[in-house]
Amino acid sequence: MDLRDTPDEARFRAELRDWLAASLPDGLRGHRGGAARFEGEAVREWSRALYEAGYAGLTWPKEYGGGGCPYSYQAIFLEEMARAEAPHHLGVIGLGMAGPTIIAHGSEAQKARHLSRILSADEIWCQGFSEPGAGSDLSAVRTSARLEADRFVVDGQKVWSSFAHIADWCLLLTRSDPGSERHAGLTYLIVDMRSPGVEVRPLRQMTGEAEFNEIFFSAVEVPVENVLGEVGGGWQVAMTTLLHERGTLGFALTAALEVAVRKLIELAQDRGATATQRDAIAREWIELQGLRFTAYRSLSALMKTGVPGPEGSILKLQWSEANQRLGKLALELLAQDAQLLADNAPYGGYWQHHQLRSRGNTIEAGTSEILRNIVAERVLGLPRSR
Amino acid sequence: MDFAFTPEQDELRSQARSFLAAHPEPSWAELAGLGWTGVSVPEELGGAGLGFLEEAVLVEEMGRALTHAPFWSTVAVVLPALPPELQAQVAAGEASWTLALGPLVPDLDTATRIAVVGGDSIWELDGAGREMLQTNDATRPLGVVTGGSAGRRLAGSELLPRMRTRSRAALALEACGVGARALELAVAYAKEREQFGRPIGVYQAISHPLATTYMELELARSLALWAAWCIAVDDPQAGLAAAAAKAQCAEAAVAACERSIQAHGGIGFTWEHVLHRLYKRALWIQSWDASGAQLRSEVAARLLDGEGE
Ligand SMILES: Cc1cc2nc3c(=O)[nH]c(=O)nc-3n(C[C@H](O)[C@H](O)[C@H](O)COP(=O)(O)OP(=O)(O)OC[C@H]3O[C@@H](n4cnc5c(N)ncnc54)[C@H](O)[C@@H]3O)c2cc1C
């Protein structure tokens, strides 16, 4: 056990810190997040700069344009990005889900076509899993894919699809066998969002922004070479995507929470805090350290054994609930000023946005109830509730 | 960055777990015979020359087993204040210690010797009477000392903050052991006990609090291991880490016991079941030295007022 950087890790961290200090445009530092980050070209250019400096896809194999680095480098990267308050690479779904799924299940042609373009932010991806009738129970998807000669014809509707309005490609879970039920008969397609018959309608969230969308598919033609994995084997491929959604996110989440806790402490120093609020702030700082070191433990297990430790399954659950508590605590410190928005608001409305956006955290990427089911059944070994 | 135990440390843990399961009331001499009382004592003094991480492994296992021996008092608290020949006695199993810091003294029924603080030094207390009190946790009873006088000078009192940090980290680790065992009992029971024709673990009103318990215990354990590592390498954050860990681990262990009692129904409320003993140890740990709220106020002073940096 040694929580310090190895000499190689320390060198990587120092180089990265220097690079960030020199390369991060001032206008992007401390960017609030949310939908505003997709406006204009600045974040796309920033993403490309990350790619050119070798910081996109650090853990991906070198042959696909990645860095071939150990997972600890990715952790350091996320920590330093958060410390510098640098915005994330634009291709959140591409880097976190599409890429790892294609690496695991893709054909050589798919790998060659997409992987390096994901890293360079030339391709933005979205995830088309949820449907009006299939949310927590993903196996209820009904969007149909009918095989006709050398192509699938897709009809149906997806919902809550983040980034679909800026996406070039979609990870689409479909039902290819109309008589099938549940986990059988599903096929995983990668769909060009510019295909005829694809229509994206943005949905406005409670923050007032539109980060997610409905996607309608009417007779959309998808060539068979765009099947990811086997026809009828879509469920297994979807599980890879979800594993990556929930697994490798731990460090990104911790790093983001660290920024928010730092801002909360500054807010309390600016505005003063009651004894009860001081207690709550200390608790959040302590919980943050617990989360950080749990992510380290899970990462150490991953580096030693190739699979993340079971404790990794709680990171998103804990983070989402902590992030919500932070937002509420900050608004309490702001008192009546918490009602102000945008330019009128202290800190440019950072906390008002944070608090509302955090309500989505316990719903997206698996609700807290579903994550508790997963811990109960897969980690504790309790009998299945369904 | 490496946050995993070595194979030797894992081996020590499995040895401790199986020994303590087979010998729930080990004597001090038995613990010494296993090399545990001298695990961090230098080899030339008859110890194993290891460090706080190995002590951490043992303390966590003793918490799980509710070991009634003055291991925490002796090894986690007093040992750093002992001169070499007295450390050798601990390693050999010839002496065990407790620290009388306030009116209530832990492990007074089992520790053979007593340390006290007076002026700028820590002394051995000679010739004191001991009176045991009726207390909640029978596995770590409290007593009071009467009379006695300062005997041999052990160390300077500037060591006290370090001893307190070690004490807090060790209690945090014990709490992890207590909480993990309470959770295991609840999980086993939820799989086996049937009501309405199904194992009670299928009901989310049972399974979700247990999932929450797992989450809280793992997060708390990460804090305790962080504190232990800080102590092992003399990291300047050790004091802060130990305060954070004690606050979080004690509360997580108490909550784990409470949820486990609830998941057991009537049987969990009985004197015969081990749960109340785990619960009482968790409550003991929570109340000793500083409560969660007091520890968080120390942490808040560091974070918000820049104190203690
Ligand atoms: C901000 C945001 C971004 C998103 N981005 C995407 C995206 O990019 N792509 C995508 O495909 N989806 C996305 N989603 C959708 C998200 O995955 C779903 O909303 C989520 O899985 C829940 O499904 P649902 O909304 O249909 O709710 P439901 O599944 O209908 O759940 C309603 C309530 O019932 C509870 N519940 C359901 N089943 C159980 C059970 N077995 N036990 C206990 N409680 C249960 C839920 O926890 C919830 O509280 C996003 C959602 C949000 C909020």
Q: Compute φ and ψ for A219, nearest 5 degrees.
A: 50, 45
Residue A134: CB atoms within 10 Å: 18
Residue among A269, A304, A373 whose CB faces B304 most closely: A269
Question: B127 lies in a domain?
Answer: no
The dihedral through the CA atoms of A157, A162, A163, A169 has a sign that is negative
pLDDT, tens only, B154-212: 999 999 999 999 999 999 999 999 999 999 999 999 999 999 999 999 999 999 999 99
How would you classify residue B40: left for phi > 0, otherwise alpha for psi between -120 and 50, otherwise beta?
A: alpha
Q: Is B187 exposed, middle or buried (0-12, 13-18, 19+ CB in 10 A)?
A: buried
Give A292→chain B minimum CA distance, Å.
Answer: 8
User: Could you tell me whether strands B105-106 and B142-146 are parallel, antiparallel, or unpaired per DSSP bridges?
Assistant: antiparallel
Q: In this structure, is residue B231 part of a structural domain?
A: yes
CA triplet B177, B27, B128: central angle to 5 degrees? 100
Whether residue B185 lies within 8 A of chain A, CB to CB, comes out as no
Tell me the CATH architecture of domain A247-380: Up-down Bundle (1.20)
B49 domain-assigned? no
Q: For residue B54, give the chain A residue with the closest CA.
A: A1
Distance CA B136, CA A74 (A): 49
Domain that holds residue B231: 160-306
A306 in contact with B, Cβ within 8 Å: no
What band does B308 get if pLDDT is binned at 50, 70 and 90?
Answer: low
Q: What span, in angstroms and rounded, lies between the C-alpha atoms of B150 and B126? A: 6
Q: By the 8 A CB rule, do B220 and B212 touch?
A: no
Catalytic residue among A131, A245, A258, A284: A245
Measured from the Cα of A385, ligand 1's closest atom is 41
| HSE-CB of B88 using CA atoms within 13 angstroms | 7
C-alpha distances in angstroms, A219 versus A5, A148, A172, A186?
53, 11, 14, 18
Ligand 1 centroid to residue A127 C-alpha, Å: 14
Closest CA to A97 of A221, A204, A247, A213: A247
A242 lines ligand 1 (CB under 6 A): no
Structural domain total, chain B: 1
Under an 8 A CB cutoff, do A311 and B218 touch? yes
> What would the DSSP string read from start to end of A169-220?
EEEEEEE-STT--TTTTEEEEEEETTSTTEEEEEE--TTS---EEEEEEEEE
CATH superfamily of this structure's domain A7-90: Acyl-CoA dehydrogenase/oxidase, N-terminal domain (1.10.540.10)
CATH ID of A125-232, from 2.40.110.10, 3.40.50.720, 1.25.40.80, 3.30.70.260? 2.40.110.10
Hey, where are the domains in chain A?
A: 7-90, 125-232, 247-380
Ranges of H-type helices in chain B? 7-22, 28-33, 52-65, 71, 84-91, 160-192, 204-232, 238-264, 275-287, 292-305
Question: In 3D, which of A347, A304, A309, A313 has the Cα closest to residue A327?
Answer: A347
The minimum-distance atom of ligand 1 relative to the CA of A386 is 41
Determine the pLDDT at residue B186.
Answer: 98
State how far the Cα of B88 lies from the Cα of B74, in Å rounded to an integer: 13
CATH assignment of the domain containing B244: 1.20.140.10
User: Considering only residues 128 to 167 of chain B, which have any Cβ-Cβ distance to chain A shorter than 8 Å?
Assistant: none
A9 in catalytic set: no
Tens-place pLDDT, residues B61-85: 999 999 999 999 999 999 999 999 9
Q: What is the pLDDT along chain A (386 residues), one digit of tens a residue?
A: 999 999 999 999 999 999 999 999 988 888 666 666 677 789 999 999 999 999 999 999 999 999 999 989 999 999 999 999 999 999 999 999 999 999 999 999 999 999 999 999 999 999 999 999 999 999 999 999 999 999 999 999 999 999 999 999 999 999 999 999 999 999 999 999 999 999 999 999 999 999 999 999 999 999 999 999 999 999 999 998 887 765 557 888 999 999 999 999 999 999 999 999 999 999 999 999 999 999 999 988 888 887 777 888 899 999 999 999 999 999 999 999 999 988 899 999 999 999 999 999 999 999 999 999 999 999 999 999 76
To test ligand 1's pocket by mutation, which of A136, A163, A369 has the most ligand atoms within 8 angstroms of CB? A136
The closest-lying atom of ligand 1 relative to the alpha carbon of residue A128 is 11
Q: Is A149 on the interface with B (CB under 8 A)?
A: no
**Residue A35: what pLDDT?**
67
**pTM of the predicted structure, to 2 decimals:** 0.96
* Residue identifier of the C-alpha nearest atom 52 of ligand 1: A364
